[in-house]
């Protein structure tokens, strides 16, 4: 699977639970995976995900946004840590701070995000409740490149789940999260292996596996 011999040093930025970060760390344990998780950064010192990183010997640090006068100062601190750890790729994983266009520009084409909806539908927060309120039958998640506009940027991978009659935002979120944990490592794998090509808004990956069959809800 790996096309470059050196694994790409990857930082995962979190603010809380960190389950996507865990999924990335676990996939990157496979020696042939083309990225290694070299740093976990949180803007909240109390983030639960930091405990997982510590317990699993992954370098981690908190850069508490509250102690900085502004976004630029906060980002300068993060950038210094990213450089110190020779980071090449960033994965945002439940990172709840808006980043400035200047920071994003420095990481253009090298920073991914995971969003709990099928973009471009349901940008922003409370995606599962909004999808249920709209009565959609199919919902899902998206891994995409980060651009200055929030929850936009070329899409690398998506997964869809059927919305069930008895769903609450919580049950739907749980099924979508399972899919996030699958597509995010898959997206990082392709980026780190140099297998992605961005043209405009489209990302091509020459995927030998091909696409799975359609998801229909209800079944036709
Ligand atoms: C995930 O649903 C992700 O899509 C969104 O924030 C949530 C983070 O969850 N951006 P976790 O911290 O990865 O468990």
Helices (H) and strands (E) in the chain, counts: 6, 9
Confidence at residue 213, expressed as pLDDT on a 0 to 100 scale? 85
Confidence at residue 78, expressed as pLDDT on a 0 to 100 scale? 98
- Residues 169 and 146: beta-carbon distance below 8 Å: no
Residue ranges lining ligand 1, Cβ < 6 Å:
14, 16-20, 93-94, 114-116, 177, 180
pTM strictly above 0.85: yes
How close is the Cα of 5 to the center of ligand 1, in Å?
30
Confidence at residue 212, expressed as pLDDT on a 0 to 100 scale? 83
Confidence at residue 208, expressed as pLDDT on a 0 to 100 scale? 74
The CATH number of 8-216, from 3.40.50.720, 3.30.1360.30, 3.40.50.170, 1.10.3720.10, is: 3.40.50.170
Confidence at residue 3, expressed as pLDDT on a 0 to 100 scale? 46
Averaged in consecutive runs of 10 residues, what is the pLDDT profile of the chain (220 residues)? 75 98 98 98 98 97 96 98 98 97 98 98 98 98 98 98 98 98 98 97 87 90
Question: Concatenated DSSP letters for 3-27?
Answer: -SSSPEEEEEEESS--HHHHHHHHH
Confidence at residue 211, expressed as pLDDT on a 0 to 100 scale? 81
Question: Which of 177, 181, 185, 188 for a ligand 1 pocket mutation test, highest count of atoms within 8 Å of Cβ?
Answer: 177
Alpha-carbon torsion (40, 128, 111, 159), positive or negative: positive
Residue 85 known to be catalytic: no
- Residues 154 and 115: beta-carbon distance below 8 Å: no
Atom of ligand 1 nearest to the CA of 22: 13
Atom of ligand 1 nearest to the CA of 23: 13
Atom of ligand 1 nearest to the CA of 173: 2
- Residues 54 and 85: beta-carbon distance below 8 Å: no
Confidence at residue 206, expressed as pLDDT on a 0 to 100 scale? 82
Given 65, 85, 115, 139, which residue is catalytic? 115
**Domain limits of the chain?**
8-216
The count of residues in the chain is 220
Residue having the nearest C-alpha atom to atom 2 of ligand 1: 116
Residue having the nearest C-alpha atom to atom 10 of ligand 1: 94
Measured CA to CA, the distance from residue 65 to residue 42 in angstroms comes to: 9
Distances (CA, A) of 149 to 108, 124, 152, 168: 13, 11, 6, 29
């Amino acid at each position: 699977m790996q096309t470059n011999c050196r694994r790409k040093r990857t930082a995962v930025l979190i603010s809380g639970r960190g389950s996507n970060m865990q999924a990335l760390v676990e996939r990157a344990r496979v020696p042939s995976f083309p990225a290694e998780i070299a740093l976990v950064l949180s803007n909240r010192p109390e983030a639960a995900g930091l405990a997982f990183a510590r317990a699993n010997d992954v370098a981690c640090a908190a850069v508490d946004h509250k102690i900085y006068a502004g976004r630029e100062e906060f980002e300068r601190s993060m950038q210094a840590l990213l450089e110190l750890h020779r980071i090449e790729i960033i994965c945002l994983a439940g990172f709840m701070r808006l980043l400035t266009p200047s920071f994003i520009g420095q990481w253009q084409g090298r920073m991914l995000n995971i969003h709990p909806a099928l973009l471009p539908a349901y940008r922003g927060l409370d995606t599962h409740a909004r999808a249920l309120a709209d009565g959609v039958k199919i919902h899902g998640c998206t891994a995409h490149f980060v651009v200055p506009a929030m929850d936009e940027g070329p899409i690398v991978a998506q997964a869809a789940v059927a919305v069930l009659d008895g769903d609450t935002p919580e049950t739907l979120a749980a099924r979508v999260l399972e899919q996030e944990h699958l597509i995010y490592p898959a997206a990082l794998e392709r980026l780190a292996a140099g297998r992605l090509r961005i043209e405009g808004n489209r990302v091509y990956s020459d995927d030998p596996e091909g696409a799975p069959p359609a998801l229909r809800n209800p079944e036709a």
